[in-house]
Structure 1
Amino acid sequence: MWAATLAKQLSHPTRSVAGWLVSKFLVTNNQILEENAVQLSGILPGDTVLELGHGPGLGLQSAARLLTEPTGHLIGVDYSQYMHQMASERMKELVASGKVTLHHCDVAAMPLADSTIDKVFHCNCYYFWPSLRKGASEIHRVMKPGGLMVTTLKLNRLAYFASKRVLPGENWHPEVYMAALKDSGFTDVRMEDKQHSDITFQAIYATALK
């Protein structure tokens, strides 16, 4: 019972006690992964950048600091209305200025034009998508040719959650997501081990081929 509840809240946090606890968990456990996803993306000051499943907005804050040119624009999408509201409050000044745009939507159906995004990053996100192929295809659609996508994860933590049935099915396996990326038109898809202080994590890279 607890595993199903946790899985539901991790994939789609709601305004509830359980959703609030999950938001605190995300802030505590995702910050290093979020910040490293931003850094590994190689964001340039004038890029248009997209974060998928932005959660409470930690990665958005890190990315926004790098977009120092007037043309720099940050977009975030999240399926959870609760996370959308939380991030909107955290980023309210940049949203008001037009530097940041947040959408409450499904990754598989984003209200973005074709070939407009330079960099995409996400963290602890893809395991909950109903269809990895649809999600990967939609990411590929909105990215510019040669654009880079980066996602960060802790494989040992995913394996633990999967063993407790918090992560159902097989989508949590990196190779399943990487196969979906390749099938959707990405090239140079690879996973690398990374180190941050005493924490080991993994990063998946993919380049949009068009």
Structure 2
Amino acid sequence: MILLEKLGQQLGHPTRSVYGWLITKFLKYHNKMLEESAVSLSGIQPGDTVLELIGVDYSKYMHKMAGDLLKELVSNGKVSLYQCDVAAMPLADNMVDKVFHCNCYYYWPDLRKGAAEIHRVMKPGEGRVVSFASRREFPGRSWQPEAYMAALRASGFNQVTMEDHQHRHITCQAIYATADK
């Protein structure tokens, strides 16, 4: 139980430690399916500017890990990584066509501020947010999709819906929202 508590504490803000390393390995494996599904359901088209919120992280350790993993894409200008809070992203207004993220909204300090910031950076029109979350919970974390959906609506998103998806042995939820501005 102590191990699960230590790992659960690392989920929202991994640090350079044995527990941070373990959680990074777990997320890399576990989130792969979620990320592939989110990309597929996002409706990404050639030429779209896409924001994957894994590229926005306030954990210095995770930012470095992502930079090491994506070094070539970053140096080619195909990927940008930001060490910041989702509620204060260094992106211009109306810059992003699509947004997707996996297993992260329940670690944001303020759901409404995070949702409002995502709305700010999305282009007017048919922008779409797809959030994937697995139903598994770690100790100390409450998984509340309804609270996130309410934050999306309060931030100007509409057509906010949730669907269950099954992939192998994992049941996950996709939350969709449209930023018609």
TM-score scaled by length of structure 1: 0.81
Write the distance in 2 (CA, Å) between the matches of 1:3 and 1:27: 17
Contact 2:134 2:170 in 1 (8 A): no
Which structure carries more relative contact order (alpha carbon 8 Å, separation 6+)? 2
Contact 2:162 2:174 in 1 (8 A): yes
Q: How does 1:1-210 map to 2 (within 5 A)?
A: 2=3, 4-52=5-53, 54=54, 76-145=55-124, 146-155=126-135, 157-158=136-137, 161=138, 165-167=139-141, 170=142, 172-210=143-181
Q: For 2:153, what is the secondary structure of its paired residue?
A: helix
Q: CA deviation at 1:175?
A: 0.6
Q: CA deviation at 1:91?
A: 1.0
Q: CA deviation at 1:38?
A: 1.2
Q: CA deviation at 1:131?
A: 0.7
Write the distance in 2 (CA, Å) between the matches of 1:196 and 1:17: 29
Q: For 2:162, what is the secondary structure of its paired residue?
A: strand
TM-score scaled by length of structure 2: 0.93
Q: Percent identity?
A: 65
Cα RMSD of the aligned pairs, angstroms, is: 1.4
How many pairs align? Answer: 179
Write the distance in 1 (CA, Å) between the matches of 2:173 and 2:80: 28
Q: For 1:78, what is the secondary structure of its paired residue?
A: coil
Write the distance in 1 (CA, Å) between the matches of 2:170 and 2:18: 29
Q: CA deviation at 1:25?
A: 1.0
Write the distance in 1 (CA, Å) between the matches of 2:111 and 2:27: 22
Q: For 1:151, what is the secondary structure of its paired residue?
A: strand
**Structure with higher strand content:** 1
Name structure 2 gaps, 5 residues minimum. none
Name structure 1 gaps, 5 residues minimum. 55-75
Q: CA deviation at 1:177?
A: 0.4
